[in-house]
Each structure stands twice: as C-alpha cells, then as structure tokens.
A and B are shown apart, each in its own frame.
Chain A
Amino acid sequence: MSTISEAAASGSLTEAESPVVPAIIRGRVVTDSLIEFAGRGGSTTFRTPDPRQYARQLPLASPAQQADLYDLSFDDILDYLEGLGSRLDIATNEHLRWARSLTYATAHATKPLIDNAFRGLARRFSRDAVREMADCTVGLDYLNGWVDTPLHNGTTVSVRAFGARTLHIIPGNSVGAAAGTLIKNAFTRSDAIIKTPSNNPFVAVALGLTMCEYAPDHPMTRHVSIAYWRGGDEEVERTICQPHNIEKIIAWGGLASVRHVTRYIQPGLELISLDPKYSCSVIDLSSVSSDDDLRQVAVRLAVDVGTGNQEPCSASRVAYAITGGRPDGVELANRLGTYVYEELLGLPAGLTTKPKTYDAELRSNVDSLRLQEEFYNVIGGEDDEGAVVVSQLPDPIDFVGLLQDRTVNIVPLDSLQDVLGYLDAYTQTVGVYPESLKEQLLDVAPLYGVQRFVSLGYSSEHTGRAPHDGLELERRMCKWIVDQRSQPARATYASSRPDSGEASAEADASPVVPQTLDAVIAATTPDGER
C-alpha cells in the first residue's frame, strides 16, 4: 500500500494511458496489486488494485463501529462537507483535474459539458444546500434525534432515522452521482461502499482522494470505501453482499446492475433499485395562436431535449403535441420541429453541444425514416448534430428507446387522453406546457407510472430536495427506529387476581383484550376506575 504522494510521485495517478485508479478504503489509498480492466464498448481500460485481494477490507467490520458517527453533531457533518467542498475547486484540485482529463477521454459527453459538471461539484457541498437537502428529504429532527408523536391512547411513539451500511452501485453517465452519494451518506450518518461503474470509475475516486488528504481520520472519511470490480464478480460480491457486512444495496441502472446481486438478497439485506428511466414532454398546441408562442414552446422543448446532450434520464426524448384536432395540427407540429431544431443548435455550450459521436444504431434508424416521407418528417441529423423526427401519423417512432444525442420525436395527438396511453412506469419526468395543462395531468398521469412533472424547460433541474423516481431514496437509506413509551397504572400479580376462567360461550360479545400489559390492568380494574 502506498501513500497518495508516493502514487502521485510515480506519475501513476496522472498517466493518460491505462491510468491507475486507486481504491479508497476508509481513509486509506490503495494502489498495489494492480490488475487491468480492459475497456469495451466505449469504456476505458484502466488498472486498479485487484478487488479480490481486498474485498474483505471494504465492509465495516462491525455495525457497532458506526457509533463514532453519532458522536458528531449535525454541524460537525456540515463543517466536514463544507471543508471538503472548498477543496473541490477544479482550478486547484489535482485529483479532480485528473478525473476530468480521463472523463474527457472516455465519457460520451463533450468537453464543455464535462467542464460545466466539474465546475458544479463544489456548490453541492455548501452548508445551506446540504442542510436543506437533509431537511427536505429526511427531516433534520429525525436525523439528529428522536421525534415524539403522542397517540390518542396515551402512548408516545418516538422515531429516529439511523444510518445503514450500504453498498451503492452508482451510474457513470453523471459526474454528480458520486458527490450526491457521498453527501447523502454523510447526512444520514451511514457507511458506504461505492462500487464505481466502468463508464466512469474516476470521479468517485478523485473525491475519495480529496477526502483522504483533507481529513483521513475523520469519521466521515472512515465510513467510505470506493472501489471498482466488474459487476457480477462472484468472488467479490459474495464477500461483500452478506447481511453481516451491509444492510442495503442501492442500485442505479436497473436490471443491468442488479442482475448479479439479486442472488444475495436475503432477510437482513434490502435492495433499493432505481430503474432506468426516460422522460417526455406534453405540449398543448391547440391554444398556440402566434408564431412567437410556437417559438417559445420550441426553445423550452429544445432545452429539455438538449440538456447534457440528452444523456440524463430526465432529458426529453418524445414530445407529445396535443393538437385538439386542429386541421393544421400536423403542419403546426412540423413547424415546431423546425424551430426546435433551430433552437437546439443555438443553445449555450455548457448546456449542450454537438454530440461527440452520434449513435450508429440510432443513425441507422433515423436514416431509414428519412426516406419514409409519408410517415415521418426528419429535420437535421445529416451532420450527426442531432435531429427532430416529426411523426406525420399520431404515433411515436418504434425506436424511442434509442433516442439520444439530441434526437427527439414530436408526435401530434388529438387529445390528452391519447397521450396517457404512452406514459408508463419507465416515464420519470414529464415537462408540461402550458402550466395550466398540468391540472389535467397531475392526478391522472401518476396512475400510468409518471413520477415527476416540471414546467417545460426545467426537466434537468434535479433539486435533490424531493423524492426521486417515485420513491424517497434518502428515507429508505435510513433505518427507522422506534421508541414506544407507555406509562400504565400499576399492575397486579397473577396470584393476587381472581381466576379469569376459560373463554365464555358468548366469546364474540366479549370486549377486545389489549395485546399489552393493559390487558392485565383492564382485567383487574373496576370499570368505573378505568
């Protein structure tokens, strides 16, 4: 095992080819016993310590060792995160610069988008942001102490959210995913093993390296392990995924990431699966009267399609345009398509750019449609810059799942009712225009599976202050512990009570016997005294 400075001095942390990705184990940086993971399908090749050799060191040896997290006040936690955040300036943090240069090389995102994402890391750690996030998602009272609720029968229920030992399988399509995981792990006073994805094993490690330099012995640092192993490596996963090591697994990416770990799910080990999602837009064109209005819709839709080059799950892939049966409905949708295409090309570079590469399978499909003029109007896409496909019939294209690299399908539909048929449990976000249309969607679309509504143009603003994918992730990260208090009257002993006898013939008519000590008190207390 070497120190960070040794590793850095050897140049291994900054090598451009087959980079060394250290493992972070509870404040220690591990860079020995390196083995290479060959990249495939756009993933990079990198060397990392052999996960089989140190898998046993990743989990917390005993759950009782989380006690040190409870010696920390919430302010201590905020202090730690704020201090860490102040070290995440991309201009000065060598680890982030290392991760960024490797992300340039390996991510599908382009340089301006990656730069922007790295610039945005530090502010996530600010005091106010973390406090608000913790309060909105879990509740500060529950995180920092016991919350009493007096019940009508005199019992008091007291609840506290405790941290849990959790394996996080994080996604690689977002630079912020690792930061979000670290922050949530901190404010829930949890213990994390972060399994990094092959499509970006760098960012989490860069954050981990910064933590090790900043406060290697701080409980917040000591309760984080970060490592890469190939998903499905039975030797590693069998070692880690045991109820004596972890209590929860949080898996992004759905079946692909959980396929291998589901075999370890057993009593005492909970799986929280965040399924892969796509998002769409619902636009009422029936009320659009001027060209200016249509352009307003277009720029909003372009933002929801283009943000992060359509890589986030919240990016819009299909826009359902309700025409209300207008005779010029399809023509209007075509005009909207032309404007959206124009806007896509004119959006700011930190928001969207021409994609680094255009998905070949998508191009194959779009090019086929280009010739089907009766059914589809394909706008743009000949320079791999992104495209708008306007359906001329009221149907989405059949390769919606392939839509990416700034390619959107606009589908003219007569009514809102027609839209509902296309919403399902895969639908995370629906961007709506105008705002008044939401009233007709809010209480209905969730029944079809929709999980989030936004005003058109804001689909990728994830506040982190609300439920995600229809579930309260931060609350589920916690173990919810109950203290129940009753103060009954003094009870008599068995020997001092008259014989209660066997159940009477009219058992159905007897009063309910409380399932607590109250049963004894009730049996010996005259009715009038209760």
Chain B
Amino acid sequence: MQEVDLHDLLAEPAAYFGNSYTAMHSIERESMLDMQRRGLALRFAQHVESIPMVARLAGRQGVTAIDDLADVVPLLFEHTMYKSYPISLLARQQFGRLTEWIGKLTSVPVTSVDLTGCTSIDQWLNTVSAQTDIDIFHSSGTSGTMSFFPWSKQDLVRIWSIRRMTHLQVYGEEPDDVLLREPFHYIRTSTRFDRRDLGSEAITFGRPGYTHVATEQRPSADLLWLASRLRLAAAQGDSSRVDVPESLLARRDELRRSRDRDEDTRARWLAEIEQLQGQHVLWTIMPHDLFEIALPHVEQSETWSFSSRSVVHLTGGAKGRSLPPDWMDTLKKFLDVRVLIGYSMSELTDQQVMCSAGRYHLQPWVIPYVLDPDTSALLPRRGVQTGRFAFFNLMTDSHWGGLMTGDEVELDYDGPCACGATTQHLGPDIVRLSEKRGGDDKISCAATPQAHADAMQFLNDF
C-alpha cells in the first residue's frame, strides 16, 4: 500500500494527483481508505477545537476521538443546520446575532467583524467577506428560508482547482496542454454562489471576455429574500403582511425591474454564446434551463458546435419541474459537445460526475455513508446500499465536512466500476427523500409541507 501524504493532498489536491483526473480516480482502494481514516481523525481533532458547533455536538454525543470511519456518524450535521437560525434575525436586521450564529459553524473567527451600518443581507455578506477570510454562500430562499453556508477563500481555491480537472478531463485520458494550460470560456447562469468569482479564475485564468453570465450582476440576496417573503405572504392569504424591513419592502419595484432586465440580458447572453462556436467552452447549466434554450433551436434544425474539448456540464435537480423522456436527445441535437452530468449540492461543491458506465464517482476524500431513511442509523458500510446519503468531505477546512443530505442514493462501497475508475460510486437515480415521502394520492385534511409547497409552486408558476 502506498501511503498518501495527507498534508500534501489536503493542501493541493489537484497538484497531488499531477492535475490528472484519471490519476485521482485510479487511487489504490486500500490507500484511499487509509487516507480517509487518518484524514477524518485529523479533521475531528482540528474542528472539535475550532468549530463551536462540532464541540457542542461531540459533547452531547460523548465522542472524544475518531478511530474508525463509522465513528463520525453521530457527529454528522443535519442538512437543515445551515438554516437553523430564527428567521426574525433577518426581519429585525439582527446581523450581530446572525454573525454569532454562523461563527459557531465555521473555523474562521468572525466575532471581531465590525457590523456598523449593516442594514441589509447584502451588506452583511459583503462586510463578512471584506473583514474575514470567509464568503457566505446563500440559497435562493424559494422554500421560505434562506440557508447560509461559510466557505474560506482557501477552500474555494482548492475546490475550483479540482473542479477544473473534474469538468474538463475524461477518465482514462491524460490531460494535455489545452486542458491544463489554456483558458476556457466559462458560461454560467448566475454568480450567486461565487462572491470572489474564483470559479472564473480557475476556468478562464482571468482572461477578459471569457466569462459569460446570464444575469448582469450577482442577484441581490435581499431581493431574493423579499421575493420569497412576498410569495409566502400571498400564499398565506394576506399580501400586506410581509415580514421584511420597510427599507427592503420599498425595493419591490426594483424586483420587478430586475426581472425585466434579466429577460433582456438573457437574450444578449445567448447571442454571445452563439458567437463562441468553435472555441473551448465550459457551460454549466441546469437541465431544464438548457432544454428550454435548446427546444426552439432544434425546431429550426439548428446546431451549435464548440471545440472538441468543450463540455456542457449539467447540474442541479429537477426543482419540481419535469422534462420529457427524450430531453437528452433534444440537447444533443442542439449542442455538438460532450455532456457531463454532475451531482453536487451547496455543501458538496467539488462535484461527483457521471462516468462512462453511468455512475457518479465520489472524489477520493469524500467519505460516504448510507443511512436508514427513517431512523438515520448507519447501514452496513459494505456491498451495495440504498438509503439516505451522508458524507464527510475531508477537503474543507472552513466548515465541518460531515453532513446528512436529504437525498436517497444507491452506493456501491466495494465493487469496481465498469469504467475502470477505482473510487466508490453512486447509482444514477438520486431522489429527494421529501419527494419520496410525499407519496401518491394521499389526501389529508391537515396542512403538510407538501401542501404548502404546492401552493407556493402554484404561485410561482402563476
């Protein structure tokens, strides 16, 4: 067994594998498991000291050391952890308390942040970003709550170096100069999750005119929040009761204007992309969005061709929308390019991508767990297991790497993959547990989250 140098791996994972996705996913299984065990013990020792919420959970669970991969299961965070603040902190603009809250979820000290004059979510995010080493990623708030997730710049740089390899390279083919050293055009829908635009840096090497974003500017967290609370108030039957500060409510028109503007910008964005044909591009987009773009072009028998190295990277779930069964055919008729399907979430952004055998390969430092969907008890860590997906991601230093997701997966712990890669892999069918639990045609007189979500969806579509 070749022992992995943990320090080198965690410092520069891409360089550790010689910037080769193939090398990364050809790691000897025994070495990988040994690395995972040592890495987990290291992360626990570090974070039980530096992340207050990890210390609190470890104290409650009576865990003092991690020897085995399964030992960390009682310390995995619920995926709801990053939205577990009282919602009124936003309405009452209590950003000090919100900072204290997020300070318990990160190893980066935030207590000294000067929040003077901070009266909006955007200002809070900017202030924290300017005065500390963390960027706080936020969700869209469409479900009614906005989650906040802390990332350090160092973590993000590492993640992006991995993503460049993962997105552009093909397993089994060693990277050449184009893949390693040439800038790619980077096409995205929004930059919401990437305050410092580190993603663009990794893909375009900072080349001007190489980043193409559908929305002119980063969407305002405040406006997203406002839109979400307006919808909620409407769903509750009283549009006058919106629990946001007056100053934010006054920006209601801005919300409308930004929607109109987005329409115009989007048209320009598509025209810009059309001009990139023949060049190297990485286009990250949700399947539904791309399908909508593709359909009218396919009807006109139009095809867009990019360089042979180009990649369309499909990410993000269905978000309640459905696609026709032949959606992939439509995409392929429109785009003459390699299509890569990724599985990721805001807490696991270093991308697990689908291989030639149709399986999602986990990066070597992502330790997977499959839990009983009802009790969250660990199912045996061997063979093929289906259940609630949980993981510990060793690559993150700024927040706790252990999380129980809301997804159901089929995981092969031991078996080799037909594609040849040695890493552990998930089956292609990943579903939200909450969607599964809803069931079909169950009628109840009691309000359920599903009923509420249906009403919200109805308003969103209206």
| A residues in contact (CB < 8 Å) with B | 39-43, 169-174, 177, 197-199, 230-232, 252-257, 259, 274-278, 311-313, 315, 357, 359-361, 363-365, 367-375, 391, 393-395, 397-399, 401-402, 404, 421, 424-426, 448-449
Contact of A394 among B81, B88, B388 (CB under 8 A): B88
A313 touches B445 (CB 8 A): yes
A171 CA to B440 CA in the complex, in Å? Answer: 13
A278 touches B144 (CB 8 A): no
A231 CA to B447 CA in the complex, in Å? Answer: 18
B446 touches A42 (CB 8 A): no
Contact of A401 among B60, B439, B449 (CB under 8 A): B449
A256 touches B450 (CB 8 A): yes
| B residues in contact (CB < 8 Å) with A | 53, 56-57, 60, 77-81, 83-88, 100-101, 144-145, 236-238, 241, 243, 373-376, 388, 404, 406, 433-434, 436-452, 454-455, 458
A173 touches B81 (CB 8 A): no
Ordered by A's residue number, 11 sampled pairs between the chains whose C-beta atoms are within 8 Å are A43-B439, A198-B439, A199-B443, A253-B451, A255-B454, A255-B455, A274-B445, A275-B447, A372-B85, A375-B85, A393-B86
Residues of B within 8 A of A43 (CB): 439-442
Residues of A within 8 A of B238 (CB): 424-425, 448-449
Given known pairs A311-B446, A401-B449, the reply for A40 and B439 (CB within 8 Å) is: yes
A373 CA to B447 CA in the complex, in Å? Answer: 28
Residues of B within 8 A of A170 (CB): 443
B447 touches A198 (CB 8 A): no
B439 touches A365 (CB 8 A): no
Contact of A313 among B77, B81, B447 (CB under 8 A): B447
Contact of A402 among B60, B444, B449 (CB under 8 A): B449
B80 touches A365 (CB 8 A): yes
A271 CA to B242 CA in the complex, in Å? Answer: 30
Q: Apart from A199-B441, A425-B238, what 17 extra A-B contacts exist at CB < 8 Å?
A: A172-B442, A197-B441, A198-B442, A256-B443, A276-B451, A277-B446, A311-B446, A360-B374, A360-B437, A361-B434, A361-B437, A371-B53, A375-B86, A398-B86, A398-B144, A425-B237, A449-B237
Residues of B within 8 A of A371 (CB): 53, 56-57, 60, 81, 84
A398 touches B87 (CB 8 A): yes
Residues of A within 8 A of B450 (CB): 256
- Chain A's closest residue to B404 (CB) is A364
Residues of A within 8 A of B56 (CB): 371, 373
B447 touches A277 (CB 8 A): yes
Contact of A174 among B80, B437, B445 (CB under 8 A): B445
A231 CA to B438 CA in the complex, in Å? Answer: 14
Contact of A360 among B373, B448, B455 (CB under 8 A): B373
- Chain B's closest residue to A401 (CB) is B449
Given known pairs A398-B87, A425-B236, A425-B237, the reply for A252 and B80 (CB within 8 Å) is: no
A259 touches B454 (CB 8 A): yes
A370 CA to B59 CA in the complex, in Å? Answer: 13
Distance (whole angstroms) from the CB of A298 to the closest CB of chain B: 23
Residues of B within 8 A of A395 (CB): 86-88
A276 touches B442 (CB 8 A): no
Distance (whole angstroms) from the CB of A210 to the closest CB of chain B: 23
Given known pairs A274-B445, A276-B444, the reply for A426 and B236 (CB within 8 Å) is: yes
A402 CA to B451 CA in the complex, in Å? Answer: 11
For the complex of A and B, the 3 pairs showing the least CB-CB separation, nearest first, are A41-B439, A425-B237, A253-B443
Residues of A within 8 A of B145 (CB): 398
Residues of B within 8 A of A274 (CB): 445
Most chain B Cβ neighbours within 10 Å, of A232, A398, A421: A398
Residues of A within 8 A of B447 (CB): 254, 275-278, 313, 401, 426
A7 CA to B88 CA in the complex, in Å? Answer: 59
Most chain A Cβ neighbours within 10 Å, of B77, B447, B455: B447
Distance (whole angstroms) from the CB of A465 to the closest CB of chain B: 18
A130 CA to B455 CA in the complex, in Å? Answer: 36
B444 touches A253 (CB 8 A): yes
B88 touches A424 (CB 8 A): no
- Chain B's closest residue to A174 (CB) is B445
Most chain B Cβ neighbours within 10 Å, of A177, A256, A274, A449: A256
A198 CA to B442 CA in the complex, in Å? Answer: 5
